Amino acid sequence: MQNADRVLVVEDDADTRRYLAQALGAGEARYRVRTAATLGEGLAELEDAPPRVLLVDLGLPDGNGLDLIRAARAKSSAILPLVITVFGDEASVIGAIEAGAQGYILKSEAPDDLREAVAQVIAGGAPISPGIASHLLRRFAESAAQGPHTDEGPGLTGREQDVLKLLVRGLPYQEVADALAISRNTVASHVKSIYRKLEVGSRGEAVFEALSRGIVKVDPED
């Protein structure tokens, strides 16, 4: 496990924390897992041994997990925050995205799915549990039905719009590259341009802007 990616799990419930740690420490990937039970402990862990992936619950006994996400993003853009929760209401999801979360998954996910979510975010994906994704897409579909609210994108090229559509679907960079028959480096270049034009700093924010502004249309049943 010398070269395994480091994952920090911040969860106040001892049983859930143990389950997450065991799930992520097993399997072929066998991530190096450290745990914390409070916001304070999580902040200390960030300073002591910055992780590659941060899994954090929002409802911590001494504060909000959003503060830990913000601290992680401020410390290093290489730290990839994932929210773990029992359910995601719209306000919590949007708040987490704005704070810099790269994904939003449920604590009830099976061990294989938890490990896959971590692998996806490391590969450039944006894992969101199906139940949460469906909730958000229904929300945006209902908003669109109330009246026209479309934005062809602030100067996005056709290729950038193609890339953005695949980002909304949660595909990692390599799968976006394969789907469009371009290189991964070219995808990264397009993403950088998309972020600049949408005035966002993370994939989650770009996805939110694409959906809320009607730049990308997604069928909730898709």
Cα gap 152→174, rounded to integer Å: 25
Residue 148 has pLDDT above 50, yes or no: no
The two tokens of residue 68 are 């830990």
Cβ proximity of 135 and 90 under 8 Å: yes
Residue 46 has pLDDT above 80, yes or no: yes
Strands (E), 75-219: 80-85, 103-106
Phi–psi pair at 186, nearest 5 degrees? -65, -40
- Is domain 147-212 in CATH 1.10.10.10, yes or no? yes
Give tens-digit pLDDT for 51-85. 999 999 998 999 999 999 999 989 998 899 999 98
Nearest to 115 by CA among 161, 73, 82: 82
The two tokens of residue 145 are 């039905």
When pLDDT is cut at 50, 70 and 90, the band that residue 210 belongs to is confident
Give tens-digit pLDDT for 12-44. 999 999 999 999 998 776 799 999 999 999 999
Looking at the chain, the domain(s) classified CATH 1.10.10.10 span 147-212
Residue 2 has pLDDT above 60, yes or no: no
Q: pTM for this one?
A: 0.71
Q: Name the pairing type of β-strands 53-56 and 80-85.
A: parallel
Residue 119 has pLDDT above 50, yes or no: yes
When pLDDT is cut at 50, 70 and 90, the band that residue 202 belongs to is confident
Residue 166 has pLDDT above 80, yes or no: yes
Tell me the CB-side half-sphere exposure of residue 30, using CA atoms within 13 A: 5
User: Measured in Å, how far apart are the chain's first and last C-alpha atoms?
Assistant: 38
Query: Top-level CATH class of 6-128?
Result: alpha beta
What is the reported pLDDT for 159?
93
- Across 141-145, 161-165, 205-209, 218-222, least confident range: 218-222
Looking at the chain, the domain(s) classified CATH 3.40.50.2300 span 6-128
What is the reported pLDDT for 131?
65
